[in-house]
């Protein structure tokens, strides 16, 4: 393989970032982004869509900022990048994030932003080693924020931490966010359905195109296009689960990992998309396509704080064209019956909502009303989508559920976490298992010592009032980013057990490699079914122990109002 020496600047920011978890980021991100380090491009990969020039980062070969689509304008459908193997592409810098509100929480929001954000990154140990498992990661951020420019998603750590002799190809991708990834333009004067009908689901089409790029090019990086695992967390898991229901997309992967997210309560109806878009047009002061397109990026971003505040909602639209009207039924009907699945949640998912931010960040609120209010908000955001499920409106079920514990605040928090994460994950696991998929269910209970996090992080700490792991916790161990990822949640690196990092990454890697998570570092993990409901518990003591139907009483109550 030819090697070319090209010096270029690589901006790498190793500062704290958090997806949509409510954690605080570093105020020094912009200064760090200006720091340049001279890197020698010494790795060349000739693929279908380009000759990609990457570099060796102390044993990890990385390629940053690869465009998988041609540059797109506002609300344009993405098209496969038109470069060919004759075009040299220098992969020296993270691609831009999609336009979004600048937020200390989201490090990607502090990076450069552009419509031309359809890019991905590739990491591996050795591009010449063939038939390696491929993992494609979709980041979270509520569909409105985030990006691959986040230290916790730097694939260097995952690849570097693989056991000796093992290798994989890890891919992370950017996609369009907020109104740029989903906006219903049908009410505007001058609307042309042939041009703008798919503007409501551009984020999904972006992700689908990235998967196609991987399918057509990843063999050149040593990856096996017939052994691809799609992995997502939070909104990324909801996106991945949506892609699972779309045959045009799920043809490109053989396994899927869904971490704290699925299609339930994360899609909206066409009617809700019309309602949301009308609010956007009112805020922007436009009534026609021409007026909307005449707005500059600065014009839109000047009002984006208000748009984000009013419309921060799940924005995958179940339109019956790009996304099925009833993805749950599609899964039950076997649309993904040949795809292996690993799915799970953490025990304290959104305990953020129970923290008494005004008085004591280590104690819960005394009144559950804020949790109830947020549960209602989350349900309203989905509109009348078919893939919507909630105990709201079933007071008898709520009363029965609450009666199973003596702490009403904690029980309401459990009900929220179950409604939006665990119970809905069980519904998905049941459907997939009964349709023929091999399904592995997990439940994550390990969390760092609460007092150690509070001592280390002070006022910026974010800990569950009950010491449980909260949304995004497992990402630190999956990616192995213990030095740079989410200290507000996890505390100092020395408080994160090395053996749990190793067993977690090995388990995720084993699933990607074999479609089966079992390995020598964990106990036996059986497939999930509706008879035994075997679930792997990642325990508070770092143990991996299989249990039948954990928290069965809660599940059985909520099962009475199945979707």
**What does the domain layout of the chain look like in residue ranges?**
126-561
- Per the model's pLDDT, the better-predicted residue between 106 and 416 turns out to be 416
Q: Beta 132-138 vs 169-173: how paired, if at all?
A: parallel
Q: What architecture (CATH level 2) is domain 126-561?
A: 3-Layer(aba) Sandwich (3.40)
The pLDDT value given to residue 109: 52
The pLDDT value given to residue 104: 66
Query: What tens digit of pLDDT does each residue of 252-280 get?
Result: 999 999 999 999 999 999 999 999 999 99
Phi-psi region at 240: left, alpha or beta (left = phi > 0; alpha = psi -120 to 50): alpha
The pLDDT value given to residue 19: 37
Q: What is the mean pLDDT of the chain?
A: 90
Query: Residues 23, 234, 419, 510: which is the catalytic one?
Result: 234
Which of 31-45, 87-101, 397-411, 461-475 comes out lowest in average pLDDT? 31-45
The pLDDT value given to residue 40: 61
Query: What tens digit of pLDDT does each residue of 402-425 get?
Result: 999 999 999 999 999 999 999 999
- Per the model's pLDDT, the better-predicted residue between 29 and 331 turns out to be 331
The pLDDT value given to residue 111: 66
Instruction: Enter the pTM of the model.
Output: 0.92
- Per the model's pLDDT, the better-predicted residue between 397 and 37 turns out to be 397
Which of 132-136, 151-155, 217-221, 241-245 comes out lowest in average pLDDT? 151-155
Query: What tens digit of pLDDT does each residue of 359-391 get?
Result: 889 999 999 999 999 999 888 888 899 999 999
Q: How confident is the model at residue 108 (pLDDT cuts 50, 70, 90)?
A: low
The pLDDT value given to residue 22: 35
> What crossing angle do the helices spanning 235-244 and 202-217 adopt, rounded to 10°?
70
The pLDDT value given to residue 147: 82
CA distance 336 to 358: 46
Query: What does DSSP assign to residue 29?
Result: H
Residue range 59-79: average pLDDT?
96
The pLDDT value given to residue 143: 80
Residue range 125-143: average pLDDT?
95
The pLDDT value given to residue 103: 67
- Per the model's pLDDT, the better-predicted residue between 179 and 487 turns out to be 179
Cross-strand bridge partners of residue 229:
135, 255
CB atoms within 10 A of CB 294: 10
Which of 36-40, 238-242, 475-479 comes out lowest in average pLDDT? 36-40
User: Where do the H-state alpha helices sit in 257-355?
Assistant: 270-284, 289-294, 297-301, 304-311, 327-332
Q: Catalytic annotation on 234?
A: yes
The pLDDT value given to residue 107: 66
């Amino acid at each position: 393989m030819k090697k070319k020496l090209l010096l270029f600047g690589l901006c790498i920011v190793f500062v704290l970032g958090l997806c949509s978890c409510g954690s605080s980021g570093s105020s020094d991100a912009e200064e760090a982004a200006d720091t340049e380090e001279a890197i020698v491009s010494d790795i060349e990969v000739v693929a279908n869509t380009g000759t990609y020039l990457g570099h060796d980062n102390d044993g990890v070969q990385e390629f940053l900022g690869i465009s998988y689509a041609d540059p797109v304008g506002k609300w344009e459908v993405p098209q496969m990048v038109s470069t060919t193997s004759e075009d040299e592409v220098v992969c020296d810098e993270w691609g831009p994030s999609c336009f979004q509100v600048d937020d200390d929480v989201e490090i990607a929001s502090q990076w450069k932003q552009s419509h031309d954000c359809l890019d991905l990154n590739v990491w591996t140990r050795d591009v010449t080693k063939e038939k390696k498992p491929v993992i494609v990661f979709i980041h979270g951020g509520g569909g409105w924020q985030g990006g691959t420019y986040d230290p916790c998603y730097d694939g260097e750590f995952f690849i570097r931490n693989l056991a000796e002799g093992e290798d994989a190809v890890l891919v992370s991708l950017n996609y369009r966010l907020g109104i740029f990834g989903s906006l219903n333009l049908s009410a505007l004067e001058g609307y042309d359905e042939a041009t703008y009908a798919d503007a409501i689901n551009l984020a999904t089409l972006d992700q689908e195109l990235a998967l196609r790029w991987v399918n057509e090019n990843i063999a050149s990086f040593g990856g096996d296009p017939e052994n691809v695992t799609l992995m997502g967390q939070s909104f990324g898991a909801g996106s991945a689960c949506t892609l699972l229901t779309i045959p045009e997309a799920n043809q490109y992967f053989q396994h899927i990992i869904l971490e704290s997210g699925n299609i339930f309560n994360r899609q909206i109806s066409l009617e809700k998309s019309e309602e949301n878009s009308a609010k956007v047009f009112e805020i922007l002061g436009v009534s026609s396509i021409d007026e909307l397109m005449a707005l500059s990026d600065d014009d839109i971003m000047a009002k984006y704080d208000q748009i984000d505040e009013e419309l921060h909602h799940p924005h995958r639209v179940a339109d019956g064209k790009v996304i099925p009207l009833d993805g749950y039924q599609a899964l039950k009907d076997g649309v993904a019956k040949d795809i292996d699945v690993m799915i799970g949640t953490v025990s304290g998912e959104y305990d953020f909502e129970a923290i008494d931010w005004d008085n004591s960040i280590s104690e819960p609120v005394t009144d559950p009303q804020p949790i109830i209010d947020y549960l209602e908000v989350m349900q309203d955001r989905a509109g009348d989508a078919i893939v919507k499920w909630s105990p709201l409106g079933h007071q008898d079920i709520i009363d029965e559920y609450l009666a199973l514990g003596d702490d009403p605040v904690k029980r309401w928090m459990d009900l929220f976490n179950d409604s939006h994460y665990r119970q809905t994950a069980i519904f998905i696991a049941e459907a997939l298992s009964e349709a023929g998929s091999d399904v592995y269910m997990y439940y994550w209970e390990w969390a760092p010592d609460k007092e150690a996090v509070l001592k280390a992080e002070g006022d910026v700490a974010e800990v569950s009032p009950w010491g449980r792991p909260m949304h995004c916790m497992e990402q630190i161990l999956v990616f192995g980013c213990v030095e740079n990822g989410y200290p507000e949640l996890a505390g100092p690196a020395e408080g994160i057990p090395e053996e749990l990092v190793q067993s977690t990454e090995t388990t995720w890697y084993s699933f990607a490699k074999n479609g089966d998570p079992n390995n020598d570092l964990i106990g036996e993990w059986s497939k999930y079914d509706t008879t035994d409901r075997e679930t792997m518990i990642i325990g508070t003591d770092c143990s991996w122990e299989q249990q039948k139907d954990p928290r069965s009483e809660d599940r059985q109550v909520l099962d009475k109002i199945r979707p």
